[in-house]
Amino acid sequence: MEKITTLDALLLKLEETPIPTEELKTYGHAQRHQLPQYHLGSTNIDEIDKDSEFYKVLSYFFDNVMPPLRLLKWSDLDTLRRQKEITTFNGLQFQCNAYHKFMPDIYTSGIQPEGEKNITTKFQVATVDDEIKEIKDYCGEATDPRDFHQEDFNISMNSMYYHSAKAHWITQSIREEGLWAPIQGYTQSPNGGNFTQLMIHPGSVRSGVFEEMEDPTHELLIWDFQDTFPDIPSMSIDDSLDYWKETILNGNTKCNHKNLSVIFTNGTLEYQSDHSNIEFRREVWKHSKKFTELSAGKPLTIYIGYDPRHNNLELYSKQSILDAVKRSVGGGRFVDYTRFTPEIKILDISKIPEYTREYANQSTEFTYSRFLIPYLENYEGFSMFVDDDFIFNKNPMPMFYYLGQDDAVACIKYPQIKHDETKFDGEVNIDYPCKLWSSMMFFNNSHPDCKKLTPEVVNTWTGAQLHQFEWTDKIAPIPEKYVFVEGYDDPEVKWDFSAVHYTRGGPWINGMDTEHINNLEHYNKVKNSLL
């Protein structure tokens, strides 16, 4: 990357190698990658000198090269995303597979070893002596038919796992501290297509986190080559510098210095500020190591409730998860190395002799047995539970990212809503605090609060005590957007969901009139695939 120190130097350089300003809107990523790269200088953000060469150079780009710069909120993408006029980032659907594939055995690299040029070439294993282990020792030699070099394979795989773990750390950081800075990028329409792609850098990992969290206030700083957002006002150079001043000085209490630099790369401008005094890789390493230790060498297990009266519904739920996980892996050269298939167990109380609770006004046989899952896993690792009336159309494992190391459980904290007077089995439907919270949970099985869930407790505590989480206050919230609650959610409002929860029942209930049940196509699709 060539350093530009004056406007005259820039103009001279552009005479030698002009930037195809008009053509940039039609360029794809490969073409942009061939463009020159320039470091345009830096400034002290609270002492901007408009007579400085940095300001002059940046002004030239604003006035002569770049399209409108727009500050977007995530909510500004809603309509375009729903109408499929814009493609975003597919959340963390792919990353979560690599994360769960490697997490039980391996954590990311931390401190760069003496003499090493690239710490992403190594994994570390959770052993007492912190043995260094190469990816080939874990995945085997590279066998891709395109015969790429083993060293490149090692670097790519390690980088992939590092970024999948980083997504977990970022999710927890945003949850605890809020968003430090926006993601940046540009719009492009490859091959003159009728849809827009958002290309993001820096913030490629955060972009997936954004899409998972669906926080309408999360910000994106976008160079709008395609004029995709004409209703969003464009920012002037002064607007942009004021924005970064506010972000750096007031948006993050961990601010290390007041420097802001700008580079021209891939045909777009990127603002860069080391506005945090932490070492990201070290923090990701610490976080990754902790979760590897908590996993106790066991991959994530998924439990599905079982009730013999539901005509094999648990098998349809299981198949929907397997299908969704398989789709999320995608294609490409690393599929075989990152493929993760969770172990799915059916929670059948007839096979749990420790469960001795007598039936009494229970909707299902797994009404209470779900709280035995930490015990059944010997209070080790991580487990997910879902009611059998969940049908998934997306991989459920990105929801795991909301579980923090100090949390006992993660679930959707549904607001109090009015339910039908009777359940699908004709019994009285009682509204109570935390209703539906326990219909889907991620357990941190070794957490002290999960260890309270002994067979004696599960057999004797009241429904209110168990389902209203009197056994813990360490509950991580999962966004409601993941689950469409049939009978209560509006399909015009909640459309980008991962699963349908058929709380009012369905065709698996003998003799039930299902004419009023919505979204049964998800259930029927899975059922037909198994016939």
User: Are the C-beta atoms of residues 284 and 483 closer than 8 Å to each other?
Assistant: no
Q: How far is CA 130 from CA 158, 189, 266, 496, in A?
A: 16, 47, 39, 42
Longest CA span, the chain: 85
User: Are the C-beta atoms of residues 312 and 399 closer than 8 Å to each other?
Assistant: no
The H helix count followed by the E strand count for the chain is 16, 22
Number of C-beta neighbours around residue 49 at 10 A: 10
User: Are the C-beta atoms of residues 95 and 164 closer than 8 Å to each other?
Assistant: yes
- Read off the tokens for 373: 């899952």
Judged by DSSP in three states, 186 sits in strand
Round to whole Å and give the CA distance between 213 and 209: 6
User: Are the C-beta atoms of residues 508 and 524 closer than 8 Å to each other?
Assistant: no
| Confidence at 419, pLDDT banded by 50, 70, 90 | low
**In the sheet that 106-107 helps form, which strands lie side by side, from edge to edge?**
106-107, 123-125, 132-133
* pLDDT tens figures, 8-46: 999 999 999 999 998 888 888 888 999 999 999 999 988
Number of C-beta neighbours around residue 211 at 10 A: 20
Percent of the chain with pLDDT over 90: 66
Q: How far is CA 248 from CA 170, 254, 259, in A?
A: 18, 9, 9
Q: Which H or E element spans position 291?
A: helix 280-295
Round to whole Å and give the CA distance between 522 and 304: 17
* pLDDT tens figures, 59-77: 999 999 999 999 999 999 9
Round to whole Å and give the CA distance between 53 and 453: 65
Judged by DSSP in three states, 197 sits in strand
| Confidence at 222, pLDDT banded by 50, 70, 90 | very high
Kindly state the average pLDDT of the residues 403-412.
98
* pLDDT tens figures, 162-214: 899 999 999 999 999 888 889 999 999 876 667 789 999 989 999 999 999 99
- Read off the tokens for 428: 């009285």
Kindly state the average pLDDT of the residues 212-219.
95
Given a cut of 60, is residue 277 above it in pLDDT?
no
| Confidence at 418, pLDDT banded by 50, 70, 90 | low
**In the sheet that 38-44 helps form, which strands lie side by side, from edge to edge?**
2-3, 38-44, 259-265, 268-272
Length of the chain in terms of residues written: 531
Round to whole Å and give the CA distance between 486 and 234: 41
Question: CB-side exposure of 446: number of CA atoms within 13 Å?
Answer: 15
Domains in the chain (CATH in brackets) are: 2-91+180-272 (no CATH), 95-175+279-285 (no CATH), 298-530 (3.90.550.10)
Given a cut of 70, is residue 128 above it in pLDDT?
no
pLDDT of the residue at 362: 84
Phi then psi for 133, rounded to 5 degrees? Answer: -130, 130
Round to whole Å and give the CA distance between 299 and 289: 15
> Which residues, 6+ apart, have CB-to-CB distance to 373 below 8 Å?
303, 347, 383, 385, 443, 445, 453
